[in-house]
Structure formats: C-alpha cells, structure tokens
Amino acid sequence: MVKDIDRFSGMSAGLSNRLFFRLYQCANMLHKTGTRALEDHGITTQQWAVLGALTRPGFEDGAAVGDMAAFLLVSRQNLAGVLSRLEAMGYLERVVDEKDGRSRLIRLTAKGRGLWDGDMRPVIADYYEEALAGFSTEDRIHMIHYLDKMLRNFKKIDPDAESRSKEAAE
C-alpha cells in the first residue's frame, strides 16, 4: 500500500498505491484527531458516528442493530460493543421490537440527545472547519463524489455490504 514500483500498468499503478496510502493515513488521522476533539465528553469517533446515526430521520424512532451496522459499514458484532458502552453511559437504550422478537430497537435517551445537541455538535462544527480549512464548496462536492464512487466500488467487491447498505436506505 506504500511503495509499489510501477511494474504493472505504468504510472497509474503508482497513483493507485499513493491514493490508497493517503486514504489509509487520512482514516488514521480522522480517528485520532476526531476522538481528541471530543475527549472532553469522553466520546470516540465510532461513538460519534453511532450517536449521529441515531439522530437521523428514519432512525429517530429507534433503529435495528443490523440496519445501523449496514448504514455505518461495520459488523453487527462490532456495533454491539459500541452500543453496550454507550448504553452503560446512559446515552442510549435498547428495546425489543414488538413486531420481531429477535430485533432490538436502539434509541437515544434524553441524556444522549442532550449530549449530541448541546455538547457535541458545536465541537464537531469547529472540528470540521479546521479539518476542511481551504476547501471550497466545490472541493467538498468533488471529494464527496470521488468517495461515493469508491464506496460503490467497495460495495461491488463486498456484495454483502451492498445489499445490507441498500436496505438501510443510504
């Protein structure tokens, strides 16, 4: 993923390597700096993603674990651990789905909603501003376009994620 001498298809292979390495580095820094930004509230980037998902229209009345996992593109088992910790902190609750005894609906508690609206969002907005300094609206649109395109490719490589993600309506 780093140095990969161009032996396959010329310059483009070198660019691919560089691109993936950058994506890898960006992801590491996203988690590091994002978690750092919210450390006063004891929230990690994964917890941020979960809390954010729960404020989303369509999820406000409770979200199934499988649907959230598909939406966030993590495994159900991984999500279970993140949910347990957030539940222990009192930010969310799990209730059995009346319509399906296997399913649990995850909902924000009042405490969780207060954390999100009152504490997290201002910090997140500042963080975005710092992390995207020098990015025009056009730059952001372009970058989203490329990430979306790459995501579609990833989902072709992993059809499971694709089908589950579609069901999660994203």
Partner DNA sequence: AAATTAATGGAAATATATTGACATAAAAAT
Partner DNA sequence: ATTTTTATGTCAATATATTTCCATTAATTT
Alpha carbon of 88 to those of 81, 84, 134: distances in Å? 11, 6, 39
Pairing of strands 63-64, 92-97: unpaired
Q: Which of 33, 95, 166, 167 binds a second copy (CB under 8 A)?
A: 33
Q: Answer yes or no whether residue 166 interacts with a second copy by CB under 8 A.
A: no
Measured from the CB atom, the residue of 10 and 101 that comes closer to DNA is 101
Q: Which residue has the tokens 């598909």?
A: 70
Q: What whole-number distance in Å separates Cα of residue 75 and Cα of residue 162?
A: 13
**CA 121 to chain CA mean position, Å:** 15
Torsion on CA atoms 126, 129, 132, 136, rounded to nearest 10: 160
51, 53, 64, 115: which one binds DNA (CB under 7 A): 64
> Which 3-32 residues touch a second copy, going by CB under 8 A?
3-4, 7-9, 11-13, 15-30, 32
Determine, following the binding rule CB under 7 A, whether residue 107 of this chain makes contact with DNA: no
Query: Out of 16, 35, 55, 109, which residue is the one contacting DNA (CB under 7 A)?
Result: 35
- Please report, as a single letter, which amino acid is at residue 117: D
- Classified as helix, coil or strand, 36 is helix
Question: Segment near a second copy (CB under 8 A), from 85-93, 97-105, 106-114, 150-158?
Answer: 150-158
Over the window 40 to 69, marking each residue x when it contacts a second copy by CB under 8 A and - when it does not, the resulting string is -----x--xx--xx-xxx------------
Q: How near is the Cβ of 7 to DNA at its closest, in Å? A: 25
Task: Quote the least distance from Cβ 98 to a second copy, whole Å.
Answer: 25
